[in-house]
Structure 1
Amino acid sequence: MKNALIIDDEVDLCKLLSLQLKSLGIPNEYVNTIRDAKEKFRVNPYAIIFLDLNLTDGTGFEMLDFMSAFPKRQKVIVISAYDNEREKVLTQGADFFLPKPFTKKQVAQIIDFI
């Protein structure tokens, strides 16, 4: 079964995305810092990672670099309001770029594709 980790410093966005994923039958949890994301990632085999680029203690690019040291077992969806970062995140290991704001339909389309 697919499970997801949401990494974003906006708690309201995490809660909204979490509810959307649950309605699609995807168990998930969220964290609000890179530090917590690294701890969760080390011990949990997530199928899907939703990753914001700007967090209070680091960047999504830092997390992409961190994840690259592990065997690739997950799909990474970068969520960001900065569309100009699309190409960069895709070349650094992200599988999808989801611009903010996004809709439940966009999330469902990506999940269906995975």
Structure 2
Amino acid sequence: MRKILLVEDDLSLIEGLKFSLSKHGFDVTIARTLKQAKEYLNQSEYTLIILDLMLPDGSGFDICKTVRQTSDIPIIFLTASDEEVNIVMGLDLGGDDYITKPFKLNELISRINAALRRSDLAKQQAAVLNSNGITIKLLEGRVIKNGKDIDLTSAEYRLLCLFMQNPRVILSKEQIIQKLWDCRESFIDDNTLAVYVSRLREKIEDDPKCPGFLVTIRGMGYKWNIV
């Protein structure tokens, strides 16, 4: 069941919203103040936040700022303020939608479902890397080239992910080692990295002897080319 955090202090609105959202299959948690909302966010994870702008102890903008520092969870502002400056500010701070009171419950449900669809699509796209005919399915840990799975070691897989997530960026050997290996693994040095890169090229390049994807930038490091 998808969990929604409803941050609202209007009792006459809370009961109706909770009933309607629950009827549509959502598990609803109610927070009536900023303090309560922050406590709930620290205690649990939510699928979406419905956020009133004016609360007894501050502004819903404050929660939006805090959440956006660490999460891309969908946020829908729900407020009586229809001033353009507030709408723009809410969206600029990272809000996904802005609904003014009074509103129709069916419209709110539709907006919620639309926000969740966009969020799900973004997660799916973020979980797949595509480049040079190579696909990495991050959630499955699979690497596919031209429709066939490639068997990579853990080190080779981590290297490939790092390069494909940073296309056309020159990564120094020091950067790569720091990002992919614990500093306690002192056996990882430039020569060891070169061996890993060579083995990875053997598995992913069309011509490992003349690599076109994972190229060496002399004196600087390595770069993932988009061919």
TM superposition score normalised by structure 2: 0.48
User: 1:75 maps to which residue?
Assistant: 74
State the shift of 1:103 in Å: 1.1
Unaligned runs of 5+ in 1: none
User: 2:131 maps to which residue?
Assistant: none
Bigger radius of gyration, 1 or 2?
Answer: 2
Match of 1:83, SS state, is coil
State the shift of 1:46 in Å: 0.5
Percent identical pairs in the alignment equals: 27
Q: Find runs of 4+ consecutive structure 1 residues off by over 2 angstroms.
A: none
Unaligned runs of 5+ in 2: 117-227
CA distance in 2, matches of 1:30, 1:24: 16
User: 1:109 maps to which residue?
Assistant: 110
User: 2:10 maps to which residue?
Assistant: 10
User: 1:51 maps to which residue?
Assistant: 51
TM superposition score normalised by structure 1: 0.92
CA distance in 2, matches of 1:71, 1:33: 20
State the shift of 1:25 in Å: 0.8
Match of 1:27, SS state, is strand
Counterpart of 2:95, as a letter, is: A
Counterpart of 1:29, as a letter, is: T
State the shift of 1:100 in Å: 0.6
State the shift of 1:42 in Å: 1.3
CA distance in 2, matches of 1:71, 1:26: 20
User: 1:87 maps to which residue?
Assistant: 88
How many residue pairs get aligned? The number is 113
The alignment's C-alpha RMSD in Å is: 1.1
CA distance in 1, matches of 2:74, 2:14: 18
CA distance in 1, matches of 2:34, 2:113: 27
Match of 1:46, SS state, is coil
Q: For residues 20-75 of structure 1, what are the alpha-carbon distances to aligned partners after superposition, in whole Å with 9 as ceiling and x for unaligned?
A: 10111111110100000000011211011010010000101111111122222x21
